[in-house]
Structures are given as structure tokens and as C-alpha cells.
């Protein structure tokens, strides 16, 4: 992976990773501690699973982004903060998503500014462009403030805070907007679909002709490292994906083939919307997450492909792991963990 000739060397730097017990944060923390030889502090809650962090020399710091007082010890003396912690849900209460994703981000920004951290790399999402983005959407495209999706709204609110702290308080920040992440330990992009296919619950929508802008987790980790190595001031945002659009029929079909399954069944979008509305209504009554949401139906039928020009030009980002290789590595993990 190319490095900036006069960029930041992460070796020996003290870096904090929020959300390190999770999917993306865990992969990032491991990479920073091993290949990049950084001194990694992982912000973890008492209930966090930390098996994948224990043997890597990572310093475990108890705390939560929703508890501002718990951040001081982890951030004190740190050179950089990678903010990966978030509540990722297609369905849920707006106040819960806002409290974690927006107010939690502000707690991180306040703590970083107070500790004089040189740089914050914030994890956003392409969800900020709405559920039906235009084909060719890039960083110059407007954020969709009228999508009505609580998760998207909370990520936009978080970005607004990052931009404000950068412009008003001089905090150097980088915003990464990942697309549809999958790979080992992914719940949404890997385990969820695999379990649904195994149980016979998976149904494509309109033949699965909608497009996923997939992103293998190690490609995203590359983007974090490249962003950290680039010595820049102010605040810049970058879309990150594998650079291609793949039909959901092909993407989910790869999981099905791993399990020896045939072609997945399909239902019309109208039927899927009715099922999702019924599932959401039931979820409102029971408090249990719905098996399908209208937001998911919309996302699975959109056909936009995001552009990566800015990340490729300014960060030297180039997705190095193809869908073939990413799925091969994911299958190895699924088999090793006996999910398939």
C-alpha cells in the first residue's frame, strides 16, 4: 500500500480507537498495533468482547463515548483518535441513534480538543447521501437532510459537528464515508445474510438487480491508515468503497454458493415494502427489531455507484482486495468459525 512521501509515520504514535471491540474498529486496532507499530489504546465498555484485542499489546481503556468523563484518561497524551464507535441500525428510536452517533461524537470531539489531539479521523457513512443517491454521487454531492431515516440523520448531525469543531476550534479532522462493509466478524454485511440464507429466509427484491457498493473491511482499514498518514489541516471527507457496483443477486449469491444453495428466491419491491411495513408495525408493538425494513428495501433496489476519485487522488487510495478475494477470505473465516 503506497504511503505519502512526507506523511505521518504511525510507528510509536499513541492512537485511540473508539469502537475497537466492534467489527471495523477491531480490524483497524489490530492493523495499527501490528503492521503500523502504533501504541494503540482501545476504548472498551465493560460488556465489550475483547478476545481479538488481548494478545496484540493493545492498551484497554474502560469508557464509552456516551460518558464524557470516561474519555479523559484514554485521550490524554494521544496523538490521534480514530472514531469508529457508533450505533448502526436500519430501525430504531431517533433519540437513541442521535444520542450515540451525534452527541457521542461531540463528546469525542470535546475530549480530543481538550487533550490537544493532533487529528481525529471520524467514521461516517454513505447513508448521509440518502437511501436513493444519484448515480455518480461524490463528495461534491449534497447531503440528504430530508431522507427521514433516523440513522442517516444521526450521521449527518455527527458530520456537522466534526465540521464545526474543525472550522471553529481548529481541530484537524478527516471524515471517511464507507459504503456497504463486509468481511470477517461483520454482522450486517456477512453473518446476517449467511444466517438468513441458511434458514431459508433470504429473498431477493426485484430479482436482486439493485446494486451494492460493497467494501471489504481491509480496504476500509487501508483508507484509515492512508488518511492518518496524510499530513493535512482542516477537514476533508472521502467516500470509501471497493469502487464497483455489484448486484445483490451476485453478492448474496456468493454466500449461497458457499453453503451449496441454489438460486435465491425473489419477490417484487411492492410485496417487500408491504412485508417491511408489517414487520416495522410489529416491532413497534414488541420492541424487537424487524426482520425487514422499508429502508432496507429501498437500499436493496437502488442502482447508484459512488465515485472514489477524491480518495484515489488525495489519499492514494486504491482498493487492493477484489470481491473474489474478499469473499474467499470471508468464506475461510466463516468455515473456521463453523458458521457454514
Q: Give residue-wise pLDDT tens across range 215-262.
A: 999 999 999 999 999 988 889 999 999 999 999 999 999 999 999 999
Residues 6+ positions from 305 with CB-CB distance below 8 Å: 135, 136, 211, 213, 244, 245
Q: Which three cell numbers stand for residue 269?
A: 419491491
Three-class SS of residue 214?
strand
* Distance spanning both ends of the chain, measured CA to CA: 32
Grid cell 417484487 is found at 268
Q: Which three cell numbers stand for residue 30?
A: 489490530
Whole-prediction pTM: 0.94
Grid cell 474498529 is found at 25
Of residues 293, 308, 304, the one with CA closest to residue 132:
304
Grid cell 487510495 is found at 317
Other CB atoms within 10 Å distance of the CB of residue 61:
18
Other CB atoms within 10 Å distance of the CB of residue 129:
23
Other CB atoms within 10 Å distance of the CB of residue 285:
7
DSSP structure class, residue 93: -
DSSP structure class, residue 88: -
Distance CA 270, CA 2 (A): 46
Question: Is it the case that residue 52 has pLDDT exceeding 90?
Answer: no
Taken in order of first residue, the domains within the chain and their CATH numbers are: 14-185+214-243+305-321 (3.40.50.720)
Q: Give residue-wise pLDDT tens across range 76-115.
A: 999 999 999 998 887 778 899 999 999 999 999 999 999 9
Distance CA 320, CA 218 (A): 9
Cβ(148)–Cβ(208) below 8 Å: no
Amino acid at each position: 500500500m503506497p504511503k505519502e512521501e512526507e506523511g505521518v509515520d504511525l510507528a510509536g504514535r499513541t492512537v485511540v480507537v473508539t469502537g475497537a471491540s466492534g467489527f471495523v474498529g477491531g480490524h483497524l486496532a489490530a492493523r495499527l498495533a501490528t503492521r503500523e507499530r502504533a501504541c494503540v489504546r482501545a476504548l472498551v465498555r465493560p460488556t465489550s468482547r475483547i478476545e481479538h484485542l488481548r494478545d496484540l499489546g493493545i492498551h484497554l481503556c474502560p469508557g464509552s463515548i456516551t460518558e464524557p468523563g470516561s474519555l479523559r484518561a484514554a485521550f490524554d497524551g494521544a496523538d490521534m483518535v480514530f472514531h469508529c464507535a457508533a450505533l448502526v441500525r436500519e430501525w430504531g428510536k431517533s433519540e437513541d441513534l442521535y444520542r450515540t452517533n451525534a452527541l457521542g461524537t461531540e463528546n469525542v470531539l470535546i475530549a480530543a480538543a481538550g487533550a490537544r489531539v493532533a487529528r481525529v479521523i471520524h467514521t461516517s457513512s454513505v447513508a448521509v447521501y440518502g437511501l436513493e443517491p444519484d448515480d455518480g454521487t461524490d463528495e461534491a454531492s449534497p447531503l440528504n437532510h430530508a431522507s427521514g431515516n433516523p440513522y442517516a440523520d444521526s450521521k449527518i448531525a455527527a458530520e456537522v459537528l466534526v465540521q464545526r469543531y474543525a472550522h471553529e476550534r481548529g481541530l484537524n479532522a478527516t471524515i471517511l464515508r464507507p459504503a456497504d462493509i463486509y468481511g470477517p466478524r461483520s454482522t450486517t454485511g456477512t453473518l446476517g445474510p449467511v444466517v438468513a440464507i441458511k434458514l431459508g429466509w433470504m429473498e431477493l427484491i426485484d430479482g436482486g438487480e439493485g446494486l451494492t457498493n460493497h467494501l471489504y473491511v481491509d480496504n476500509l482499514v487501508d483508507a484509515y491508515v492512508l488518511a492518518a498518514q496524510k499530513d493535512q489541516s482542516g477537514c476533508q471527507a472521502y467516500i470509501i468503497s471497493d469502487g464497483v457496483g455489484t448486484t445483490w443477486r451476485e453478492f448474496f449469491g456468493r454466500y449461497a454458493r458457499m453453503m451449496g444453495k441454489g438460486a435465491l428466491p425473489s419477490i417484487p419491491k411492492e410485496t417487500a415494502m408491504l412485508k417491511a411495513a408489517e414487520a416495522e408495525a410489529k416491532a413497534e408493538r414488541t420492541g424487537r427489531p424487524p426482520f425487514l425494513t422499508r429502508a432496507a428495501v429501498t437500499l436493496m433496489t437502488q442502482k447508484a455507484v459512488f465515485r472514489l476519485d477524491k480518495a484515489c487522488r488525495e489519499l492514494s487510495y486504491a482498493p487492493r482486495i477484489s470481491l473474489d478475494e474478499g469473499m474467499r477470505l470471508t468464506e475461510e473465516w466463516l468455515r473456521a468459525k463453523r458458521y457454514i
